[in-house]
Amino acid sequence: MGLRRRRKDDHPNHERWLVSYADFITLLFAFFVMMYANSKTDQERAQLISEAFKQAMSEGRLTQTIAKLVRREETPPPGPEDKPMLLGLETPKAPNQQVIELLPSLQELNEKLKKEIETGRLEVRLERRGLIISLREATFFPSGNDTVEPSTIPTLALIAAELKRTPNPIRLEGHTDSIPIHNARFRSNWDLSAARGIAMLDMFTNRFGIPAERLAIAGFADTAPVAPNETPEGRARNRRVDIVVLNEEASLSQPVQSAPAAVTGT
């Protein structure tokens, strides 16, 4: 029995190489993006670029994201009429919600509060949920009290001026260490942490004119430590009020204000 003669219309597939080529291009993009991120001196920006890259990879939007990141590096910061964008990744926004990128605010606060940051009075950082301005109790509150120290008002004024420049929702979070408190003023650490958030809310609304509808408070007591409570240093870091400027993604989980119902006559 002879060998089967090849049909004239059977053509070899010359396009198989495209699959391997596409994989190679994707890996090449990944390599250059990581090189780009590691070359930046601003570590906060590098971290955000890395997160944007990971999200784009998972959603199949690698090429578009890289192009937007490069364009964003070459263009000046957006004006008030420009379309808001968070690291080039477009996400749905709540109705009538305008939220801008928080990286410029981080850089501005790091410059204006350089002395306070270097002396450990406060900390400014970017997290996945937004911009965190962490106020240490030892500087801003007397021990076991919710009265804002008058000497810290100039620092709070600088922070308030930057908060006014962004439309983002703000959450004021009170935190304590793990040592229980119980006195005539506060029954527990929950009361103290919430009271300090309220004290900051009063300061920002009544003294600095930030709209109350942008603000919310939360008391966490000792449930969200940033350091071990076994040492005096760790407990000192945990006693704090965090001013959280929510980014676009985090703000979508906030309650949306509804329009007031129209009053109709009978």
Q: Which stretch of DSSP H or E encloses residue 207?
A: none
Structure tokens at 222: 């000792």
Per DSSP bridges, beta strands 170-175 and 130-136 are: unpaired
What average pLDDT does the structure give for the chain?
Answer: 78
Give Cα 184 to chain centroid, integer Å. Answer: 37
Residue environment code for 66-95, b if the CB has 16+ CB neighbours within 10 A, otherwise e: bebbeeeeeeeeeeeeeeeebbbbeeeebe
Contacts of 124 (CB under 8 A, 6+ apart): 106, 109, 110, 113, 117, 131, 132, 133, 134
Poorest-confidence range of 40-54, 69-83, 244-258?
A: 69-83
pLDDT bracket for residue 204 (50, 70, 90): very high
pTM of the model: 0.61
| Arithmetic mean of pLDDT, 249-260 | 68
Angle between helices 17-38 and 43-59 (to 10 degrees): 160
CA distance 185 to 160: 28
Burial category of 193 from C-beta neighbours within 10 Å (exposed 0-12, middle 13-18, buried 19 and up): buried
Give 84-114 as a DSSP string.
Answer: P-BTTB-----TT-----SHHHHHHHHHHTH
Which among 192, 177, 189 is positioned nearest to 145, based on CA atoms? 192
Structure tokens at 159: 């922070």
Structure tokens at 173: 């979070």
Question: Which has the higher per-residue pLDDT, 87 or 177?
Answer: 177
Which among 233, 114, 228, 108 is positioned nearest to 160, based on CA atoms? 108
pLDDT at 79 exceeding the cut of 90? no
**Residue 208 in contact with residue 157, Cβ under 8 Å?**
yes
Proportion of the chain above pLDDT 90, given as a percent:
51
Q: What tens digit of pLDDT does each residue of 24-49 get?
A: 787 777 777 677 666 654 565 666 66
Structure tokens at 103: 């990286």
Poorest-confidence range of 29-33, 37-41, 102-106, 210-214?
A: 37-41
CA distance 55 to 238: 31
| Arithmetic mean of pLDDT, 2-20 | 59
pLDDT bracket for residue 258 (50, 70, 90): low
